[in-house]
Amino acid sequence: MKLIVQRVTKASVEVDDEIVGKIDEGFMVLVGFGVNDTKKEADYLCNKLLKLRIFEDDNDRMNLSLLDTDNELLLIPQFTLYASTKKHRPSFHKSMNPIDANELFDYFSSKCNESIHVERGIFGAHMNVSLVNNGPVTICLEKEYEE
């Protein structure tokens, strides 16, 4: 499972000319699932994401998390995070199949929503994502399937 976390001052996602998710300050996160990912990886990365301390404290140090602030979370499903670019045309054989990935995305979104308000994109839809990256700060979080 992979997350691309971008600290933003605002972000939104649009489907068919309609905004389906919108936040002010917080994280806009691209979420991708590999073929072997399970709820175990989702639980781990939910905890890691919510506790990631990349918001400034009173001393201008990255020392605060989503849980320490009133900031928001926008999750965008993104199967292309597992693209293999060995050849010029990307291959997506390492991405989880759409049915299982949609279920795991729903699970991950719900798990995060237990602790913080979550907005989200629509799985499988053509989405237009807009954001203003704050910093810029962009961090990749990853948890590989373990047997």
Distance of CA 43 to the CA centre of its chain: 13
| Sequence-separated (6 or more) residues with CB below 8 Å from residue 24 | 9, 10, 71, 72
Please say if 78 is a catalytic residue: yes
Q: Hunting for tokens 């309609």 — which residue is that? A: 18
DSSP state of 91: B
* Given the residues 79, 105, 108, 123, the one annotated as active site: 79
Please say if 6 is a catalytic residue: no
Q: Where are the beta strands (DSSP E) in 57-127?
A: 62-64, 72-77, 118-120
Q: Hunting for tokens 């279920």 — which residue is that? A: 103
* Given the residues 27, 33, 55, 78, the one annotated as active site: 78
Q: Hunting for tokens 């605002």 — which residue is that? A: 10
Q: Tokens for 117, please give them.
A: 């308000």
Please say if 80 is a catalytic residue: yes
**26-32 and 128-142 beta bridge pairing:** unpaired
List the catalytic residues: 78-80
